[in-house]
Amino acid sequence: MSGLFLSFEGIDGAGKSTHIEALAQALRARGRTVVLTREPGGTPLAEKLRALALNDPMDPLTEALLMFAARRDHLQQVIEPALARGDVVLCDRFTDATFAYQGGGRGFDLDVLATLERWVQSVPATPLRQPDVTVWFDLPAAVAAQRLAGARVPDRFESQPQAFFERVAGGYAARAKADPGRFLRVAADQPRDQVWQDVEEGLRKRGVL
């Protein structure tokens, strides 16, 4: 079987992590080898960069560069080898998150992000590595704020005001509009079972399940 790359996206509190694990189990039951990973992170180096990005104060350019540096190592060390083996890669966030958080949330230059995207995601197999399917958990920022309240000690992103997450949600919507064939939008303000049902149905239509 050929490799398959799926990313799960959404603002903090959207509940995507729960459904990534459920999808991994469903795919393994069908005989697929699944690699579960995340961004920023996924390799020892990228996890160190993740800790910096989530906790240390920095300007938007530094933040964006850290994200893409972590992504480059992640692609080279984990994602590309897994796809070459024919595995399914399930990634908790990928480049759409950078456009949503650093672009939409921070207001950083989208043209610069697009240039970094082309540089970093050029790999031997393709000039611009993107997920085959991006499952976008679309959640109103007000609902996300309620879910996050008191959940744990927030990191530098989770502690942002609701207006920040509204801009992030807008960033995701813009990415989905620009590449609708790749995105599977799921309304995340539903009961968990209904969200999973929508994920499962959408991926079945796309031939993933």
Token pair recorded at residue 74: 């992640």
Token pair recorded at residue 204: 């079945």
The verdict on whether residue 64 carries a ligand-binding annotation is no
The verdict on whether residue 11 carries a ligand-binding annotation is yes
Token pair recorded at residue 79: 């994602």
Q: Which of 75, 181, 60 is nearest to 128 (CA)?
A: 75
Q: Please say whether the dihedral angle defined by the alpha carbons of residues 187, 192, 198 and 202, taken in this order, is positive or negative.
A: positive
Residue position matching structure tokens 């800790």: 51
The verdict on whether residue 48 carries a ligand-binding annotation is no
The verdict on whether residue 10 carries a ligand-binding annotation is yes
Displacement of CA 79 from its chain's centroid (Å): 13
The verdict on whether residue 207 carries a ligand-binding annotation is no
Secondary element (H or E) of residue 34: strand 34-38
The verdict on whether residue 16 carries a ligand-binding annotation is yes
The verdict on whether residue 122 carries a ligand-binding annotation is no
Residues of each annotated binding site for ATP: 10-17
Residues of each annotated binding site: 10-17
